[in-house]
Chain A
Amino acid sequence: MDLSLATRTVDNNTIIEVGGEIDVYTAPKLREQLVSLVNAGSHHLIVDMEGVEFLDSTGLGVLVGGLKRVRAYDGSLKLVCTQERIVKIFRITGLTKVFPIYTSIEEALAGGPRE
Chain B
Amino acid sequence: MPTVELRFSPRAEHVRTARLVAAAFARRVGVDEDLLDEVRLAVGEACSRVVGLHRRHQHREPVTVTLSSENGRLCVAVSDQIPQEAASLPVPVELGNGTALPDLEGDFDNETQLDAMALAVINGLVDDVEIHTGLDGGVVRMSWPASSERAG
List A residues at the B interface (Cβ < 8 Å).
Answer: 1, 21, 23-25, 54, 56-58, 60-61, 64-65, 67-68, 71, 85, 89, 92-95, 97-98
Contacts and interface: CB of A to CB of B under 8 A. Distances in A.
Interface of A is mostly: helix
Contact of A98 (B45, B101, B109, B124): B101
B59 interface: no
Contacts of B114: 57-58, 61
B125 interface: yes
Nearest to A31: B109
Contacts of B88: none
Nearest to A97: B101
Interface string B96-139: 00010110100011000110011011001100000000000000
Nearest to B105: A68
Contacts of A21: 16
Contacts of B99: 93-94, 97
A57 B44 CA distance: 10
Contacts of B41: 54, 56, 89
A64 B105 CA distance: 10
A77 to B, nearest CB: 12
B125 A92 contact: yes
Given A23-B48, A60-B117, A98-B101, 5 more contacts: A54-B41, A67-B104, A85-B37, A94-B99, A94-B101
CB-based closest 8 A-B pairs:
A92-B124, A94-B99, A25-B12, A24-B48, A57-B117, A24-B12, A57-B118, A25-B13
Interface residues of B, number: 29
Contacts of B95: 92-94
Nearest to A60: B117
Contacts of A93: 93, 95, 99, 101, 117, 120-121, 124
A64 B102 contact: yes
A53 to B, nearest CB: 10
26 contacts: A1-B16, A23-B12, A24-B44, A24-B48, A25-B15, A54-B19, A56-B41, A56-B44, A57-B45, A57-B118, A57-B120, A60-B117, A61-B109, A61-B114, A64-B104, A68-B104, A85-B37, A89-B41, A89-B121, A92-B121, A92-B124, A93-B95, A93-B117, A94-B101, A95-B101, A97-B101
B22 interface: no
Contacts of A97: 99, 101
